[in-house]
């Protein structure tokens, strides 16, 4: 092999290595990356202050969405408590995060009840509700399962429901699915990546 050919091949190989190194690598999320999902496109509901809300209202913030109900004995309060821990982990960056709790029990979860329940975990959290039809529509859009169980003849029923959290980036794109019982540390790490523009 001639010296000139060797030099040409060496330069070409180096260029390929540099191109590979300079190419953007996908972020290494700790939770499930669902970027590009064709569901969870939005909602139109009322928050616990009586204000009409849509996903667009929170553009510029990372948004987390969890479906539950106020009389939930364990999954819902533990999920909200974890998000409260996440906000503490984020420090000043927490101001760029909006936590939303959408009730799947509009029959019992009134605006007043949500206002007394959700902010107890963090005053910045918002509870959202709709009527039965709106709730069904939003749950379907997010592929969330819920149904009454137990004593369904009156108001002492419970509700079986999906227990994960959806995360949107500041551009309003659905990016992550967080399974129930994930650590606050791992969630905070992923939210920091999204806040950094990943």
Residues 31 and 181: their CA atoms lie apart, in Å, by: 12
Token digits of residue 167:
């995360």
Alpha carbon 50 to chain centroid, angstroms: 22
Is 21 one of the annotated binding-site residues? no
Residues 70 and 51: their CA atoms lie apart, in Å, by: 19
Residues 178 and 171: their CA atoms lie apart, in Å, by: 19
Distances (CA, A) of 97 to 23, 88, 144, 178: 29, 11, 22, 15
Q: Which residues are part of a known binding site?
A: 72, 76, 161
Binding residue numbers for Cu cation: 72, 76, 161
């Amino acid at each position: 092999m001639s010296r000139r050919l060797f030099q040409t091949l060496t330069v070409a190989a180096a260029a390929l290595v540099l191109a590979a190194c300079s190419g953007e690598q996908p972020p290494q999320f700790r939770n499930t990356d669902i970027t590009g999902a064709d569901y969870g496109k939005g909602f139109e509901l009322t928050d616990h202050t009586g204000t009409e809300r849509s996903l667009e209202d929170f553009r510029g913030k990372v948004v987390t969405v969890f479906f539950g109900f106020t009389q939930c004995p364990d999954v819902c309060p533990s999920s909200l408590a974890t998000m409260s821990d996440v906000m503490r982990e984020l420090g000043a960056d927490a101001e760029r995060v909006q936590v939303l709790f959408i009730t799947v029990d509009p029959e019992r979860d009134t605006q007043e009840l949500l206002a007394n329940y959700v902010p107890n975990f963090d005053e910045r959290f918002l509870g959202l509700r709709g009527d039965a039809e709106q709730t069904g529509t939003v749950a379907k859009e997010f592929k969330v399962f819920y149904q009454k169980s137990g004593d369904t003849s009156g108001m002492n029923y419970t509700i079986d429901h999906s227990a994960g959290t959806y995360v949107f980036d500041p551009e309003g794109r659905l990016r992550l699915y967080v399974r129930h019982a994930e650590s606050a540390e791992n969630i905070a790490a992923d939210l920091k990546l999204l806040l950094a523009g990943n």
